[in-house]
């Protein structure tokens, strides 16, 4: 099995203080899975918008002037970069799910306390608990 490329968090001082309960792990898993499905829906939506823009460009570009064509190209580029950022977020969530299975997900890297489920659901890539995050930001 390939190791996830997460070793960049070299300063992992705090080891988990306690094991998370199975119920809690399942709650996180469900939240992450829901998030992933939601993102996949968004991604599909964006892809079909791109296809539509592309079709518009091909079908009614005959009567377009330069400015219209420019706008459409711009819109399409916007959609593509949106699609890419959604895809990146999906990857983050999937990596989070892998780490959850390994038991290395959802712990604050600074104090070692578990990061609340709600926070993880909202920010799957969170590596700090709220109070440590606030301390970091204050610096
Ligand atoms: Zn913390």
Cα 13 to ligand 1 centroid, rounded to whole Å: 11
Query: Radius of gyration of the chain from Cα atoms?
Result: 20
Taking the centre of ligand 1 as the mean of its atom positions, its distance from the CA of residue 23, in whole angstroms, is 21
Query: How far, in Å, from the CA of 100 to the mean position of ligand 1?
Result: 18
Q: Please, which residues bridge with residue 107 across strands?
A: 114
Per-residue model confidence as pLDDT tens digits over 9-29:
444 555 555 678 889 899 999
Report which of 35, 42, 31, 37 is spatially closest to residue 85, judged by C-alpha positions: 42
* Closest CA relative to residue 38, chosen from 89, 99, 100: 89
Which pLDDT value is given to residue 10?
46
CA 91–ligand 1 middle distance (angstroms)? 24
Residues in a beta bridge with 114: 107
- Cα 139 to ligand 1 centre (Å): 15
Q: Residue 124 C-alpha to ligand 1 middle, in angstroms? A: 15
Q: How long is the chain?
A: 139
Cα 32 to ligand 1 centre (Å) = 20
Q: Collapsing DSSP states into helix, strand and coil, what is residue 107?
A: strand
Is the pLDDT at 30 greater than 70? The verdict is: yes
pLDDT digits (tens, 9 = 90+) for 70-117: 888 888 899 999 999 999 999 999 999 999 999 889 999 999 999 998
């Amino acid at each position: 099995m390939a190791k996830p490329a997460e070793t960049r968090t070299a300063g992992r001082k705090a080891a988990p203080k306690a094991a998370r309960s199975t119920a809690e792990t399942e709650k996180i898993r469900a939240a992450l899975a829901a998030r992933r499905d939601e993102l996949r829906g968004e991604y599909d939506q964006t892809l079909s918008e791109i296809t539509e823009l592309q079709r518009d460009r091909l079908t009614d570009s005959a009567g377009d002037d330069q400015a219209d064509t420019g706008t459409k190209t711009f819109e399409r580029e916007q959609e593509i970069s949106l699609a890419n950022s959604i895809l990146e977020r999906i990857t983050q969530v999937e990596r989070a799910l892998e780490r959850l299975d390994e038991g290395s997900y959802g712990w604050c890297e600074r104090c070692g306390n578990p990061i609340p489920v709600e926070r993880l659901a909202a920010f799957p890539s969170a590596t700090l608990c709220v109070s440590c995050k606030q301390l970091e930001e204050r610096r």
